Structure 1
Amino acid sequence: MVALLDPLEAPVHPIEALRRVAFLLERTRAGTYRVEAFRNAVKTLKTLDAGELAERAEEGTLQEIPGIGKSTSGVIAQALAGDLPTYLAALEAKAGGPLVEGGEALYAALKGDCHLHSDWSDGGSPIDEMVLTGLELGHEWLVLTDHSPQLRVASGLSAERLTQQIGIVEAIDRSLGGAFRLLKGIEVDILDDGGLDQSDAMLARLDLVTASVHSKLRMNAGPMTKRMVTAVSNPRVNVLGHCTGRLVEGSRGTRPQSDFDARAVFEACAEHGTAVEINSRPERRDPPDDLLLLALEIGCLFAIDSDAHAPGQLDMKAYGCERAERLGVPAERIVTTWDADRLLTWANP
């Protein structure tokens, strides 16, 4: 069952204090520079032995360590002293509660996430940190879906890099002993003709495929409809990601939704068992309410996903749950409420 993290209490290890600060900053979309200060401090502390760290704190020389600044040194020193760092306590009080009112029952029913990124593409954290945070939040499974090769701006994975990542994901999954499943996936680009930006042989090695349009978003409605229908009809595709491509707020500005025949696309999704993603990122909120209701009427399955690019953003599914519950999407039609075995049976019939 996915749930809010309980606030940390003293005593707390400095690394855990820094991780929690970064998590809280990420879930509230704080600036990247602030988040990186705490994530980088975690990496630095993992290279130091406890004796050196305690000695530095006692001498007041923590900030002489590369990667440790004023804010991070304060958190470390207070944690080492056995206190709850004031920076962390203030952030917990401000940003530790629910992200949105509504959707709580559906949020609690979630078991996984079909769309998230690591630092292998354009995410900010390594795979193991995404997994650890997923475990802490109560997930039973996650699908790692880094980008495909065409999206060079996001360091999309070539077949060679994806092969390497598959090996790492399988090793992590084995190490977890079945208590949690890390599944092999991709967010594959939908090409102009509806083809997919990765070979069929590579896609066949994955547990789940989310397919999204990232290029030529202003394509005319006719070709765009054909492009999307072709993609969602492909037996390798399990989830249609952020279907309209719109942006409604945020640092990247706004972007209108793509033009396409939504009924034709959603009917193809329903026919082929492809889930329509309810993308939970506040800047996307995709699909918009009217299209989500249309997909519901047509009989589509759904995936409430975070599209997380950082561990704290896994919590953003709360926004998608609020929308889904408000619009009457039943939990049994949301694949992210299913256990891993049911998900895998559906994704690979």
Structure 2
Amino acid sequence: MPALPTPETVLREYAFWLERERADTYRVRAFRQAAEVAAALEPGAVPTTEAQWRALPRFGPKTAALAAAAVAGEVPQALADRRAAGAASLAPAGDGLRALLRGDLHTHTTWSDGGSPLWEMAEVAEALGHEYLAITDHSPRLRVANGLTRERLTAQWEEIALVQEMRHVRVLRGSEVDILGDGSLDRSDDLLAGLDIVVASVHSDLNADADTMTARMVGAVSNPHTTVLGHCTGRRLRDDGTWRAQSRFDAEIVFAACAMFGVAVEINSRPERQDPPLELIELAKEAGCLFSIDSDAHAPGQLDFLSYGAARAVEADIEPERIITTWPLPRLLDHARRHRS
């Protein structure tokens, strides 16, 4: 994070720490909206006192205090406290493996259902030491998540090129592509060929019978463009502490297909997913699968969730060499293109 604070950077960093600790979305949004207001101010119009900041839209007592301290050249105590708390690992058991992870192949931005723009996700990924970051916003069928049409996806590629000019982290063209009912992918072959990374995931008809779901997943895994099988069971932890049930499928067949076609089984790091569960990670390991530890981040602070996934991989005793997100970028990209003509 910047050594010299500005109102915008202080507010964005405070939001980062809130996201990392899984604070309520409405709390995070308040700081990010205030940061946008601060970023839009002309140099001569920047307030200097808390009262002046409070007079601006989107500013309340907390955001105004942070901004005023930044203008005074101070690191606000509230931010210093967040930094101190954030120095502790999210999942110490995974720290050794987390240090070996070079990147993240599953992230979302405001192009679909993420909470921050592409440039900010790339900026924070670089600050966290990532060598590469795949932007994998949703495909068009998932309208509830503002999935990207053909036109919007190609426009996103243009933004990726612009952001890449300002960043050292390699920003990869990606997409989380819906697995359709017949096992095909929710993208045309020409667009799939233009992607660096394809995460294939089931988001619909999660209660289908096991035979149907198995056939869908095997169809997607056999697609030559598929890099990663995303959150394969679809389970989620609800607010009341119960789990949304796992999809039913023949895991031995699906994982055998993953091993055959070289598709990595995602270890999804989101705390409310923890997908797949440990017994399925171990089954995939026995089947000879590769793995990809991904954050599935929808906000910058969630990029650090990789620690959770690393801890689960350690628990399952997965060898680092079998985790494609430990690989250097050239090897990763060669693997992703292995079946493409």
Question: If the TM-score is normalised by the length of the shorter chain, which range does it land in?
Answer: over 0.9
Does the residue aligned with 1:182 lie in a helix, a strand or coil?
Answer: strand
Q: Which of 219, 222, 225 is equivalent to 2:211? A: 222
User: Is residue 46 from structure 1 mapped to residue 39 from structure 2 by the alignment?
Assistant: yes
2:68 corresponding residue in structure 1: 77
Deviation at 1:83, TM superposition (A): 2.5
Post-superposition CA distance 1:196-235 (Å, at most 9, x none): 1111111111111000000000100011101101110111
User: Is residue 325 from structure 1 mapped to residue 318 from structure 2 by the alignment?
Assistant: no
Deviation at 1:84, TM superposition (A): 2.1
**Which amino acid letter does the alignment assign opposite residue 118 of structure 2?**
I
Contact persistence 1:117–1:123 (CA under 8 A) = yes
Q: Map 1:148-159 to 2 at 5 A.
A: 148-159=139-150
User: Is residue 137 from structure 1 mapped to residue 123 from structure 2 by the alignment?
Assistant: no
User: Is residue 23 from structure 1 mapped to residue 12 from structure 2 by the alignment?
Assistant: no
Q: Which of 237, 247, 259 is equivalent to 1:248? A: 237
Does the residue aligned with 2:200 lie in a helix, a strand or coil?
Answer: strand
Q: Which of 150, 154, 162 is equivalent to 2:153? A: 162
1:100 corresponding residue in structure 2: 91
Contact persistence 2:114–2:298 (CA under 8 A) = yes
Q: Which of 276, 287, 296 is equivalent to 2:265? A: 276
Q: Please identify runs of 4+ aligned residues in structure 1 that moved more than 6 A.
A: none
**Which amino acid letter does the alignment assign opposite residue 41 of structure 2?**
L
Contact persistence 1:24–1:96 (CA under 8 A) = no
Contact persistence 1:173–1:183 (CA under 8 A) = no
Deviation at 1:102, TM superposition (A): 0.6
- 216-225 or 78-87, larger mean C-alpha shift: 78-87
- 276-285 or 25-34, larger mean C-alpha shift: 25-34
How far apart in 2 are the matches of 1:61 and 1:174?
36
Does the residue aligned with 1:102 lie in a helix, a strand or coil?
Answer: helix
Post-superposition CA distance 1:96-130 (Å, at most 9, x none): 42112211111011111010000000000000000
Contact persistence 1:113–1:305 (CA under 8 A) = yes
| Distance change in 2, residues 1:228/1:111 (3 Å) | same
Q: Which of 326, 336, 341 is equivalent to 1:347? A: 336
Deviation at 1:251, TM superposition (A): 7.7
Q: Map 1:296-315 to 2 at 5 A.
A: 296-315=285-304
Deviation at 1:254, TM superposition (A): 2.9
1:146 corresponding residue in structure 2: 137
1:183 corresponding residue in structure 2: 172
| Distance change in 2, residues 1:14/1:96 (3 Å) | farther
Q: What 5-or-longer segments of structure 2 have no aligned partner?
A: none
**Which amino acid letter does the alignment assign opposite residue 22 of structure 1?**
A
Does the residue aligned with 2:292 lie in a helix, a strand or coil?
Answer: strand
2:28 corresponding residue in structure 1: 35
**Which amino acid letter does the alignment assign opposite residue 28 of structure 1?**
E
Deviation at 1:32, TM superposition (A): 1.0
**Which amino acid letter does the alignment assign opposite residue 265 of structure 1?**
V
| Distance change in 2, residues 1:155/1:25 (3 Å) | same
How far apart in 1 are the matches of 2:173 and 2:116?
17
Question: Please, what TM-score do these two structures have when normalized by structure 1?
Answer: 0.93
**Which amino acid letter does the alignment assign opposite residue 100 of structure 2?**
A
Post-superposition CA distance 1:70-108 (Å, at most 9, x none): 111000111222322122123233344211221111101
**Which amino acid letter does the alignment assign opposite residue 319 of structure 1?**
Y
2:323 corresponding residue in structure 1: 334
How far apart in 1 are the matches of 2:84 and 2:163?
34
| Distance change in 2, residues 1:262/1:68 (3 Å) | same
- 280-289 or 163-172, larger mean C-alpha shift: 163-172
Deviation at 1:69, TM superposition (A): 1.6
Contact persistence 2:183–2:216 (CA under 8 A) = yes
Q: Which of 244, 249, 255 is equivalent to 1:266? A: 255
Contact persistence 1:250–1:283 (CA under 8 A) = no
**Which amino acid letter does the alignment assign opposite residue 148 of structure 2?**
L
User: Is residue 121 from structure 1 mapped to residue 112 from structure 2 by the alignment?
Assistant: yes
Q: Map 1:186-225 to 2 at 5 A.
A: 186-225=175-214
Contact persistence 1:248–1:254 (CA under 8 A) = yes
How far apart in 2 are the matches of 1:33 and 1:151?
24
Question: How many percent of aligned residue pairs carry the same amino acid?
Answer: 51
Post-superposition CA distance 1:215-270 (Å, at most 9, x none): 00010001110110111011111100000000134489630100000000000000
**Which amino acid letter does the alignment assign opposite residue 231 of structure 1?**
A
How far apart in 1 are the matches of 2:322 and 2:336?
14
CA RMSD of aligned residues (A): 1.7
